[in-house]
Homo-oligomer: A and B are copies of this chain.
Amino acid sequence: MRGFSSSFFFNRASRAIHDHSSSISKLLLICAISGGAHISFSETQSEHSVNSVQTFTDVKKKKKVLVLGTGWAGISFLKNLDVSSFDVQVVSPRNYFAFTPLLPSVTCGTVEARSIVEPIRNIIKKKNGGIQFWEAECIQIDAANKRVVCRSNVDNLLEKAEFLLDYDYLVVAIGAQVNTFNTVGVMEHCHFLKEVEDAQRIRKNVIDCFEKASLPNLSEEEKRTNLHFVIVGGGPTGVEFAAELHDFVQENLVKLYPKVQDLVRITVVHSGDHILNTYDKRISSFAEQKFQRDGIEVKTGCRVVGVSGKTIDIKVKSKGETYSVPYGMVVWSTGTATRPVVRDYMEQIGQTNRHTLATDEWLRVEGCDNVYAVGDCATINQRKVMEDIATIFSIADKDNSGTLTVKEFQDVVDDILVRYPQVNLYLRSKHLHSVADLLNDPQKNERKEVDIEGFKSALSHVDSQMKSLPATAQVAAQQGSYLAACFNRMEESQLKPEGPLRFRESGHHQFRPFQYKHFGQFAPLGGEQTAAELPGDWVSMGHSTQWLWYSVYASKQVSWRTRVLVVSDWTRKFIFGRDSSRI
């Protein structure tokens, strides 16, 4: 028998490449070898390997910051926080961050689940041990004692599943849960599209429906039932899933299940009058027309009132009629609801009459000290101009004359615009250029000065454009980074406040309030067509917008790994189509 041992050179070369720990260097090495890829660095972050465990000898000086949640808001907060000043801990039952806008793409295999997740520990590793992560669920916020109760969700040997964590500052970024509107049968029979596991379950179930419909002992009616996909909710998630499903069926499944291709039916049930009704009307209309061409049935003005194992009950609001439709699969993608732990916390702090946790404009929870809330779990309780109108007047009226000149008003305008962002929305809706124009008389003539009643009358409608911020990833991410910036400047801003004039007290606010900047939104509609609302009221629809969508979503990935994976998934789908293995 003959044999030989490994070559010395090969051994050393492999080890040299293998041990080189920098991902970016390896990527460059690979690209040099393959010859011809251009990399643009959209963000530069150096990676440091984690050295020894950070000793907390100086922990007494650092305030403890506890973050609940690893979604858009929580991760944005952590990434931007300067951890050298704080002792930071994160608690979440989910040890990864998920790029949720791509969840509909995961449902049908356009993108793989693993391409859109990034482990928390990868993200916090870059903070050199300054952040600790516990994979557990927060089951109770004990605001009085400034601590939370957490429970590990891992099935395991040990009984010690619960533990307590103290905090000096708590950041609630816990998100929301699916809202079933207490509709009977939804929890038992419907799929949701909130988490990665939901998308994976949907993917398996779509294939199950096709395989089941292909069995030899079914009638045509039974096959049609199995292939009836109902999507409840005509918002962006529901619409995008309907579009993905349609593409999956038309581009990939009809080739594999040729006998049943004509039996497939996709229905979108929406309670409003138009799908995508939070978008520009032209996008709404474009989407409805495209769905009509694609054969996707859109039932607007309809509400689902019950779901059984076999049928879904739909009520036509205008007629008051309810009818039942048999289905193969239902995906429930309507709005969100408050999680029980937040509900319990709201009751502790006296916020009993609200749907969501209320914060002030600085994202501080109302009725509780040192607790902040960001993302879907909270809404900003924006103070109205009219609530403070008297004090605004008296502060602006420096000479206490009882009337306000335009100049006196101009001195406080900037602070008003920062403190009450709804004013800007109102000005834009009325096509006014400057706040001072509000003081004009009803005939649009400039007035030299106004008294308190005239002032109230002039500003009486500025609160009319107030809207809650939508529960989107963009809002959550901006809130997270805003809050981190505030934390980073906590000490300096105590000495030198950065915010606008206080109207009800003296001095200035410590920070500027949170200001959301809308960068637009996409609505992929299938067939390589996307609709986009862009800043400046631009609307764009069609194939070129799809490419814009690709480039924006590629650049928004949180790491190079996920960026490469997502782009390669899109390439793989283009070349080989979507996979239909039931795993």
Contact = CB atoms under 8 A, between A and B. Distances in A.
Interface centre among A1, A53, A212, A536 (most CB of B within 10 A): A212
Contact of A158 (B23, B212, B581): B212
Given A6-B543, A136-B215, A565-B572, 19 more contacts: A1-B538, A10-B544, A10-B547, A26-B574, A30-B571, A53-B259, A95-B211, A95-B581, A114-B579, A119-B580, A134-B214, A154-B211, A157-B309, A157-B310, A157-B328, A158-B212, A163-B217, A165-B216, A561-B572
A493 interface: no
Given A326-B157, A575-B26, A5 B541 contact: yes
Contact of A135 (B37, B211, B258): B211
A581 B23 contact: no
Contacts of A580: 95, 119, 121-122
A95 B213 CA distance: 14
A406 to B, nearest CB: 31
Question: What is the interface residue range for chain A against chain B?
Answer: 35 or more
A528 interface: yes
Given A11-B542, A282-B3, A560 B581 contact: no
B225 A543 contact: no
A543 B10 contact: yes
Contacts of A211: 95, 135, 152, 154
A465 to B, nearest CB: 17
Interface in A533-553: 536-547
Interface of A: 1-7, 10-11, 14, 17-18, 23, 26-27, 30, 34-37, 49-50, 52-53, 94-96, 112-114, 117-119, 121-122, 125, 129, 133-136, 152, 154-158, 160, 163, 165, 196-197, 200, 207-209, 211-212, 214-218, 222, 225-226, 255-259, 280, 282, 309-310, 326, 328, 528-529, 536-547, 560-561, 564-565, 568, 571-572, 574-577, 579-583
